[in-house]
Amino acid sequence: METKRYLDQRREYERDSLLEETAGLEPFVLFARWFKEALEAGVPHANAMTLATVSPDGKPSARIVLFKDFGEDGFTFFTDYRSTKSEELRSNPHGSLVFLWSSLERQVRIEGKTERTSPEDSDTYFQSRPRGAQLAACTSHQSQVVANRELLELRMKELDQRYQEQPIPRPPHWGGYRLIPEMIEFWQGRPNRLNDRLRYQLSDQGGWTRQRLSP
């Protein structure tokens, strides 16, 4: 009975196709188009992406983060520089991103190397955040064990009172990363699981090569 329940989740992919003549040769142009269509389709948290990193002893880990900007220079997200993901990126700056827009039957995989954003960029984004989010970034030591929630709430209340009616400075332990793509793969679900996959690979000369992959 349990097996049948999971099998019942299967459905055909039939919304769209991904063909070379419409995909183009520039992956960032295609990503921008797909992201715009995800927003227009009302995909919840369309900017949510899985970030995968690797620990110094080779163990992978993954979590959902939100990207805040993208362009030919990469995909930017913000976090605590003391977090597990940051520790892993310090030892191995390579990472992987995955976007899943299931209602559009689309997925995008991105692989590349990360670098920190400039302090100025981190300051600009931090000041654009809601005050509560700024206080939370100052309160939390991300990924560390905490005795209980009350301690976090008390610390946040103390910070709120300290910075009452004045700007909250960005803590030095908080800022951005940019993942600079070396590979971007676009996946479009198709009937009978004969899905479309186009991979864009960055060449040594700096241009992109496009290949169709078997599903």
Task: Taking each helix axis as running N to C, give the angle between helix 131-139 and helix 149-162, from 0 to 180 degrees, rounded to the nearest 10.
Answer: 120
Which DSSP string corresponds to 185-205?
Answer: EEEE--GGG--EEEEEEE-TT
Task: For Cα atoms 27, 30, 36, give the angle at the middle one, nearest 5 degrees.
Answer: 140
Catalytic residue among 131, 193, 197, 212: 193
Half-sphere exposure at residue 141, Cβ-oriented, CA atoms within 13 angstroms: 6
Distance between CA atoms of residues 81 and 120, nearest Å: 16
Q: What are the φ/ψ torsions at residue 104 (nearest 5 degrees)?
A: -100, 0
Distance between CA atoms of residues 76 and 61, nearest Å: 19
Query: Is 193 marked active-site?
Result: yes
Distance between CA atoms of residues 197 and 188, nearest Å: 7
Q: How many residues make up the chain in this entry?
A: 215
What residue spans of 104-167 are helical by DSSP H?
A: 119-128, 131-139, 149-162
Catalytic sites, residue numbers: 193
